[in-house]
Amino acid sequence: MLIAKVLGQVVATVKEPGLGRFTLLLLQDAAGVDPERTTGPAYVAVDLVGAGVGEIVLVAAGGAARIAAGADAPTDRAVVAIADSVVRGGTVTYRKS
């Protein structure tokens, strides 16, 4: 799994039928110690948990994303959890406000 920050939503009125029940989120992976800092290209994932803009989330990729989203949803990434806190080396590096 990956840790990422929700940057926004992607709205697509015409999409593959298996994606019809999902909100599509625009994400960017967390960078370094602070999960709120991001790096790399943005990407789209299906939202399985109702995440909002600015939240730190856990993202399943590949086969795990397809299983989580259901066999009829063509996806490579799926948001599977919203982080309440991140602890690294015994130190809280993120806490949801």
CATH code of the domain in which 58 resides: 2.40.50.220
pLDDT of residue 1: 93
| 63 three-class SS | helix
First to last CA, the chain: 23
Please state the pTM of the whole predicted model. 0.92
Q: Backbone phi, then psi, for 45, in 5-degree steps?
A: -140, 150
- 31-58: pLDDT as tens digits: 888 889 999 999 999 999 999 999 999 9
Domain of 14, in residue numbers: 2-95
Residues of the chain falling short of pLDDT 50: none
Q: How many CB atoms lie within 10 A of CB 21?
A: 11
Residue 13's pLDDT is 92
pLDDT of residue 84: 97
Number of domains in the chain: 1
- DSSP letter, residue 38: B
Encoded amino acid at 12, one letter: A
